[in-house]
């Protein structure tokens, strides 16, 4: 099959509304949390509790306990996937996507900072040793360093554990990630935790199609940015896709079965987007959601991705929550002075968020820095 490489020019607002629609942010969705996590192809979960706000802002009637139950019941898991970062995904996707993304995970070890620390380690032997330990009982990184380090005295123990996280499909077991509960990272294998093995390596075209359904229309570079995979140009070329161009002339692709793009002038309510949210991490050109001049205010030099607020569908500031002595306070730091109506909308939305996240707090407040 051949891809379509030309088509209408899509303006920034059209791309913005399309992204918000597919990200369930144009208006709240009636999906359940499991269906939503699948539709979104997971939620980045580097911050273990970020997925709760991510789903709350997208789903009508979502309660934080809904996601905790899914974690405890093994309907969703936290595992290294897209970009080699921890994602909260459905159990099916943990098993389905890990083989597709394994080349990225292998490349991270071969070319990254951990590689020199495991030079000379027999991968198969290390994987077998780690598998035996974590399937006996979940193990923390510290325990794995202590147990495996003596077997490979010439290896750096921390690098070895990090490499094993990429070589072997390890899930982080609860209580890590359960709302309101602290828990150390502890690993077991996805197959042991879920009772069935990962799938055989599958066709990346299915992953591309799901990406477009959740983030499109998008370019090849966008899909590579989101996934961390390389060589996707050939994958796109093998697919029958609808073609567009953006205002800078870049070719964008979409699933031909996707519905019509939303009106660029559709109104969008105030939104609180979680830290590390894929909304701002999944395009090489983020201008459809985040202006270039604001990128460094959202993404710090040390790898932190702050929670953001949306005004008229675009990132207009960052937010954080402080909890102390029975009080829960959301602080919004806007990039520019807010119109009174936008400030009021953010305050109301922030109070609704606190009612969901901190119902037992004696005091809720929304402040503007």
Indicate the SS3 state at residue 40: coil
- Which stretches of the chain score pLDDT less than 70? 1-6
As a whole number of Å, the end-to-end CA separation of the chain is 53
**Cis preceding-peptide flag for 103 (omega within 30 of 0):** no
pTM of the model: 0.96
CA 168 to centroid of chain Cα atoms:
20
Query: Torsion angle, CA of 263/268/272/277, rounded to 10 degrees?
Result: 0
Tokens read off for 328? 């829960």
pLDDT in tens, 63-74: 999 999 999 999
Strand-by-strand arrangement of the 363-368 sheet: 271-273, 307-311, 314-324, 327-334, 363-368
Q: How far apart are CA 40 and CA 211, in angstroms?
A: 8
pLDDT value of residue 155: 96
In whole angstroms, give the CA distance from residue 257 to residue 218.
15
Q: What are the residue ranges spanned by the domains of the chain?
A: 10-194, 205-254, 290-368
pLDDT one-digit tens code per residue, 269-309: 999 999 999 999 999 999 999 999 999 999 998 899 999 99
- Classified as helix, coil or strand, 10 is strand
């Amino acid at each position: 099959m051949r891809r379509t490489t030309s088509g209408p020019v899509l303006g920034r607002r059209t791309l913005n509304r399309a992204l918000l629609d597919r990200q369930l942010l144009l208006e709240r969705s009636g999906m359940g949390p499991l269906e939503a996590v699948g539709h979104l192809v997971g939620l980045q979960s580097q911050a273990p509790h970020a997925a709760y706000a991510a789903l709350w802002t997208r789903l009508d009637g979502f309660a934080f306990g809904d996601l905790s139950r899914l974690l405890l019941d093994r309907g969703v898991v936290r595992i290294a996937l897209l970009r080699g970062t921890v994602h909260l995904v459905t159990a099916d996707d943990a098993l389905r996507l890990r083989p597709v993304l394994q080349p990225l995970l292998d490349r991270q070890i071969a070319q990254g900072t951990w590689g020199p620390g495991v030079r000379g380690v027999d991968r198969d032997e290390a994987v077998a040793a780690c598998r035996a330990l974590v399937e006996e009982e979940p193990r923390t990184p510290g325990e794995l360093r202590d147990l495996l380090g003596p077997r490979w005295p010439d290896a750096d123990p921390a690098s070895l554990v990090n490499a094993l996280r990429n070589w072997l499909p390890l899930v982080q077991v609860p209580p890590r990630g359960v709302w309101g509960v602290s828990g150390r990272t502890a690993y077991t294998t996805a197959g042991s935790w879920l009772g069935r093995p990962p799938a055989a390596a599958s066709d990346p075209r299915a992953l591309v199609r799901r990406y477009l359904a959740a983030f499109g229309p998008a370019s090849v570079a966008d899909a590579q940015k989101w996934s961390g995979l390389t060589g996707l140009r050939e994958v796109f070329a093998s697919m029958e896709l609808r073609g567009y161009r953006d205002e800078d002339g870049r070719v964008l692709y979409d699933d031909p079965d996707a519905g019509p793009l939303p009106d660029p002038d559709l109104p969008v309510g105030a939104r609180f987007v979680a830290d590390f949210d894929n909304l701002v991490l999944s395009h090489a050109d983020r201008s459809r959601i985040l202006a270039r001049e604001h990128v460094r205010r959202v993404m710090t030099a040390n790898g932190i991705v702050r929670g953001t607020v949306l005004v008229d569908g675009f990132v207009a500031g960052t937010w954080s929550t402080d909890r102390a002595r029975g009080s829960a306070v959301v602080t919004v730091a806007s990039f520019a002075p807010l119109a009174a109506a936008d400030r009021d909308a953010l305050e109301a939305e922030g109070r609704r968020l606190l009612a969901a996240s901190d119902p037992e707090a004696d005091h809720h407040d929304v402040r503007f820095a």
